[in-house]
Amino acid sequence: MFLVTELLSLLATNLILTQALGTSTLFIAAGNKKNLLRTAIAISVFTSVGSGAAYIINRLLPDGLSDLTLLFYTLIIGIIYVLLLTALYFIGSESFGNTRKYVHVSAFNCAVMGTLFTVTERADTYPQLNTFFNFVLSGIEAGAGFILAAFILTAAYRKLNSAKVPASFRGFPAMLVYLGLISMAVYALR
Amino acid sequence: MKNRKTAVFDGLLGDNTVLSALMVISPVIVCGNTLENAIALIYAFSAITFFSVVLSSFVPRRLPYAAKIIFYAVIASIVYIPVKTAAREFFPEVVTRVGIYFPLLAVNSLIVVQTEAKFFRMKRGAMIGSLVFCILGFDAVMLITAFIRELLAYGTICGRLVDADTLISGLALPFGGFIFLGLLCGLYRKVRSAVGHDSDNTGGDGNVSGN
Amino acid sequence: MQIKTKSDRFIWIDIMVTLLTLELMAYFYYGVRAVVLASVCAVVSVIAELVCLRFMHRKFTADDLGCVSDALILSLMLPAVLDFRIAAIACVFSVVAAKNIFGGRLNMIFSPAAAAYVFLYTSWKNQLLMFSEPHVRTGVFEKASSLVSSASNSFNINGKMNVTDFEILLGSVSGPAGAVSILLLAVAAVVLLFRRSISAGAFIGSISASALMALIVPASVTRAASVKYTLVTNMVLFASVYIIADRRIAPKREYYAFFYGFFLAACSYILVITTAKENAIVIMSILFTPVALGFKNLEKHIELVQIEEQKEAEMAAAAVTDGEEAADEE
pLDDT of residue C208: 95
Question: Higher model confidence: residue B93 or residue B209?
Answer: B93
Collect all residues of chain B within an 8 Å Cβ-Cβ radius of residue A19: 26, 30, 174
What's the rounded Cα separation, in Å, for the pair C75 and A38?
Answer: 45
Please compute the mean of the pLDDT values over residues A35-55 and round it to a whole number: 88
In the predicted model, what is the mean pLDDT of chain C?
Answer: 90
Taking CA–CA distances from C106, the nearest residue in chain A reads: A164
Question: Higher model confidence: residue B44 or residue B10?
Answer: B44
Q: Of C54, C58, C101, which to mutate for an interface test with A (greatest number of A Cβ within 10 Å)?
A: C101
Strands B156-157 and B160-161: antiparallel
3-state secondary structure A16-72: HHHHCCCHHHHHHHHCCHHHHHHHHHHHHHHHHHHHHHHHHHHHHCCHHHHHHHHHH
The CA–CA distances, whole Å, from C282 to B133, C30, C182, C260, C268 equal: 45, 23, 17, 14, 9
Report yes or no: A29 and A93 within 8 Å, Cβ to Cβ: no
pLDDT of residue A104: 82
A159 in contact with C at a CB cutoff of 8 Å? yes
Please compute the mean of the pLDDT values over residues B125-140 and round it to a whole number: 90
Report yes or no: C137 and C30 within 8 Å, Cβ to Cβ: yes
Yes or no, beta carbons of C267 and A185 under 8 Å apart:
no
Q: What is the dihedral of CA C250, C252, C257, C258, to 10 degrees?
A: 140
What's the pTM?
Answer: 0.91
Yes or no, beta carbons of C122 and B186 under 8 Å apart:
no
Collect all residues of chain B within an 8 Å Cβ-Cβ radius of residue C119: 170
> How is chain B split into domains, by residue range?
2-198
pLDDT of residue A93: 66
Q: Which of A176-190, B18-32, C85-99, C286-300 has the lowest mean pLDDT?
A: B18-32
Taking CA–CA distances from B109, the nearest residue in chain A reads: A109
Please compute the mean of the pLDDT values over residues A102-126 and round it to a whole number: 87
Q: Which of A7-16, B72-81, C155-164 has the lowest mean pLDDT?
A: A7-16
Of the spans A36-50, B15-29, C100-114, C171-185, which averages the highest pLDDT? Answer: C100-114
What's the rounded Cα separation, in Å, for the pair B184 and C230?
Answer: 42
pLDDT surpassing 60 at residue A74: yes
Yes or no, beta carbons of C97 and B179 under 8 Å apart:
yes
- List the one residue out of B6, B1, B8, B3 whose CA is nearest residue B136: B8
pLDDT in tens, A24-40: 888 877 777 777 778 88
C109 in contact with A at a CB cutoff of 8 Å? yes
What are residue B169's phi and psi, to 5 degrees?
-60, -30
pLDDT surpassing 60 at residue B202: no
pLDDT in tens, C110-146: 999 999 999 999 999 999 998 888 877 777 777 777 8
pLDDT of residue C161: 81
**Which chains neighbour B (Cβ–Cβ under 8 Å, 3 or more pairs)?**
A, C
Percent of chain B whose predicted confidence (pLDDT) is above 70: 88
Q: How confident is the model at residue C106 (pLDDT cuts 50, 70, 90)?
A: confident
pLDDT surpassing 90 at residue B210: no
- List the one residue out of A179, C131, C290, C254 whose CA is nearest residue B178: A179
What are residue A79's phi and psi, to 5 degrees?
-65, -45
pLDDT in tens, C225-265: 999 999 999 999 999 999 999 999 999 999 999 999 999 99
pLDDT surpassing 60 at residue B121: yes
pLDDT in tens, A173-185: 999 999 999 999 9
Q: What is the dihedral of CA C101, C105, C109, C112, to 10 degrees?
A: 80
Collect all residues of chain B within an 8 Å Cβ-Cβ radius of residue C83: 166
The distance of A126 to chain C (nearest Cα, Å) reads 22
- List the one residue out of A19, A24, A12, A47 whose CA is nearest residue A148: A12
A69 in contact with B at a CB cutoff of 8 Å? yes
Instruction: Name every residue whose Cβ is closer than 8 Å to that of residue C205 and which is 6 or more positions away in sequence.
Output: C257, C258, C259, C260, C261, C262, C263, C264, C265
Q: How confident is the model at residue B177 (pLDDT cuts 50, 70, 90)?
A: very high
Report yes or no: B154 and C77 within 8 Å, Cβ to Cβ: no
C293 in contact with A at a CB cutoff of 8 Å? yes
Please compute the mean of the pLDDT values over residues B73-81 and round it to a whole number: 93
What's the rounded Cα separation, in Å, for the pair A49 and A70?
Answer: 16
Please compute the mean of the pLDDT values over residues B199-209 and round it to a whole number: 42
pLDDT in tens, C140-157: 777 777 888 888 888 888
pLDDT of residue C70: 94
pLDDT of residue C235: 92
Q: How confident is the model at residue B6 (pLDDT cuts 50, 70, 90)?
A: low
Question: Which ranges of B12-108 does DSSP label H, i.e. alpha helix?
Answer: 25-31, 35-56, 65-90, 92-98, 101-104
C50 in contact with B at a CB cutoff of 8 Å? no
Report yes or no: A160 and A171 within 8 Å, Cβ to Cβ: yes
Yes or no, beta carbons of A156 and C293 under 8 Å apart:
yes
Yes or no, beta carbons of C101 and B170 under 8 Å apart:
no
A166 in contact with C at a CB cutoff of 8 Å? yes
Yes or no, beta carbons of C119 and B182 under 8 Å apart:
no
pLDDT of residue C5: 53
Residue B159 one-letter amino acid: G
Across the interface, which of A24, A75, A187 has its CB nearest the CB of B211? A24
